[in-house]
Amino acid sequence: MADTNVTISKGLEGIYIADTKLCKIDGTNGKLWYRGYPIEALADSSNYEEVAFLLLHGHLPTKSEYEIFVKKLVDEREVPDAIEEIVAEFSGRTHPNDILRTCVSVLSSYDTDMEDKSVEANEERAIKLIAKMPTIVAMIGRYRQGKPVIRPLAKLSHTANFLYMLTGREPDKEAAKLIDLMFILHAEHGSNASTFSTLVTGSTLADVYASVVAGISTLRGPLHGGADEAALKMMRAIGEPDNTEKYIEDALAGKQRIMGFGHRVYKAYDPRAKIVYNYLKIFMKKTTDPSVEKLLEIAIRAEKLMEEKLSKTKGIWPNIDFFSGPLYTGIDVPSDLFTPVFASARVVGWCAHLFEYWQNNRLFRPLDNYTGELDVKYVPIDRR
Ligand code: ACO
């Protein structure tokens, strides 16, 4: 018999799982801080390497700390040959996020001492993952386009190197800024589904790789990190900017969700989406690709209509995933790479949360309320 005194928090809504110094989200006012720094300041003035250091270490790096950290990341960009064999085998038939998940799992086999669970060893693992995941994602992208793999280029920044390995061209200043910005904005975001999943796995004292694999798996769904791919798919289905309003109205009338809108915590404009939206407007003036121009216009028109229909009335505002698609398209990141690119940026947040949680670890073990029968009589198979 079900326990009637139980209160169920579906989706763990409103439940706090830990103290953290990593990230503060003010969902009512649409504000976000990483380690106390407003996201706008980091987006404007910092870079991904600096933000990664900040998240892992709790302070912005000094010049020498920064140089050492960057060198470590550059030195770890290459991946073992087995990774390319996996990518070659599966890139034609498996979603890139799933290939990435498998490759990260395989990386644990190259860890020379998995028994070393020291803070230093775990931090080295985080650096390896931060450095190698973009290389794997770019490699998947190259295979899917039938193009030769491009080795990392040490002189380029973390994110510019990713674009270079993916497209074969060193990005111009604008593309380099945009990809870096996207990595910064995706680096961390509290105990969202994928971070929570990383923590649940880590709370069993499973290793960093296993925990990050859980994070990558959880990110995949369209309600979480898969939303940007789904949002772009919708924009492509809309096709022409003039179709936008009718498409959205019909979708809402049919009770469909508009991917890239809504958030469990933000009941205001996601500040990351606001930053990206501003870039979108700048990008729109500069792009010369008519197909990108159309996507940008569709995104802007959809946002305007949604504001009238849902944002102001139901508090369903754009989240970061709504505007990512057209921008990524503008810098030649294919849509099926959006989620693994997100994972490549978020891996630092997953690791930073994991290390913070491990300082005061407790196994996650929530309860569920049994509503089935009890003491059911067992009937042997030949009498059922
Ligand atoms: N489009 C239309 N209606 C929506 C949307 C949307 N995107 N999101 C929520 N709603 C409506 C729901 O239909 C529901 O309406 P009802 O009360 O009339 O039934 C109401 O808003 C509340 O929805 P819930 O699902 O209960 O809200 P929740 O807090 O669980 O939703 C979520 C959060 C899952 C992100 C949701 O807004 C959604 O599905 N959005 C689309 C997917 C998406 O963009 N995900 C990315 C989130 S950001 C990130 O993970 C990086």
Contact yes or no for 152/163 (Cβ under 8 A) = no
CA of 120 to the centre of ligand 1 (A): 40
| Same domain, residue pair 67 and 122 | yes
Mutate to test the pocket of ligand 1, among 183, 313, 316, 323 (most ligand atoms within 8 A of CB): 316
| Same domain, residue pair 70 and 189 | yes
Nearest CA, atom 40, ligand 1: 262
CA of 246 to the centre of ligand 1 (A): 21
**Structural domain contains residue 12:** no
Q: How many Cβ atoms sit within 10 Å of the Cβ of residue 366?
A: 9
| Same domain, residue pair 33 and 80 | yes
Q: Is 172 a catalytic residue?
A: no
The edge-to-edge listing of strands for the beta sheet with 23-26 is 23-26, 31-34, 37-38
Give the model's pLDDT for residue 283.
Answer: 78
pLDDT-flagged residues of the chain (< 50): none
Contact yes or no for 126/351 (Cβ under 8 A) = yes
Angle, alpha carbons 251-218-210 (nearest 5°) = 170
Nearest CA, atom 24, ligand 1: 264
Q: Is 321 a catalytic residue?
A: yes
What is the domain count for the chain? 2
| Mean pLDDT for the chain overall | 95
| Same domain, residue pair 127 and 238 | no
Distance CA 135, CA 140 (A): 9
Mutate to test the pocket of ligand 1, among 97, 191, 223 (most ligand atoms within 8 A of CB): 223
Give the model's pLDDT for residue 311.
Answer: 87
pLDDT digits (tens, 9 = 90+) for 70-113: 999 999 999 999 999 999 999 999 999 999 999 999 999 999 99
**Structural domain contains residue 4:** no
* Catalytic entry in 158, 186, 189, 263: 263
CATH number at 303 reads: 1.10.230.10
**Structural domain contains residue 369:** no
CATH number at 101 reads: 1.10.580.10
**Structural domain contains residue 246:** yes
Specify the ligand 1 atom closest to the Cα of 252: 2
> 108 is written with which tokens?
């644990």
Q: What is the model's pTM?
A: 0.95
Give the model's pLDDT for residue 1.
Answer: 61
**Structural domain contains residue 5:** no
**Structural domain contains residue 380:** no
- In sequence order, which residues have a C-beta less than 8 Å from that of residue 173 and are 6 or more positions away? none
Distance CA 197, CA 253 (A): 34
pLDDT digits (tens, 9 = 90+) for 184-212: 999 999 999 999 999 999 999 999 999 99
| Same domain, residue pair 123 and 153 | yes
Strands 23-26 and 31-34: antiparallel
Question: Residue 287's domain spans which residues?
Answer: 227-330
* Catalytic entry in 180, 186, 321, 353: 321
CA of 234 to the centre of ligand 1 (A): 16
> 190 is written with which tokens?
């509290």
Nearest CA, atom 6, ligand 1: 257
Ligand 1: lining residues by beta carbon, under 6 Å: 11, 192, 223-225, 227, 257-264, 314, 316, 319-321
| Same domain, residue pair 82 and 169 | yes
Nearest CA, atom 50, ligand 1: 224
| Same domain, residue pair 117 and 214 | yes
| Same domain, residue pair 171 and 213 | yes
| Same domain, residue pair 195 and 342 | yes
| Long-range CB contacts (within 8 A, 24+) of 29-33 | 29/268, 30/266, 30/268, 30/269, 30/270, 30/271, 30/274, 30/317, 31/271, 32/189, 32/271, 32/272
Nearest CA, atom 44, ligand 1: 260
**Structural domain contains residue 139:** yes
| Same domain, residue pair 212 and 242 | no
> 165 is written with which tokens?
């390995």
Q: Where are the alpha helices (H) located in 113-258, listed in sequence order?
A: 119-144, 158-167, 173-186, 193-202, 208-219, 227-238, 244-253
Specify the ligand 1 atom closest to the Cα of 314: 21
Angle, alpha carbons 154-156-158 (nearest 5°) = 95
| Same domain, residue pair 263 and 277 | yes
CA of 317 to the centre of ligand 1 (A): 10
Nearest CA, atom 15, ligand 1: 314
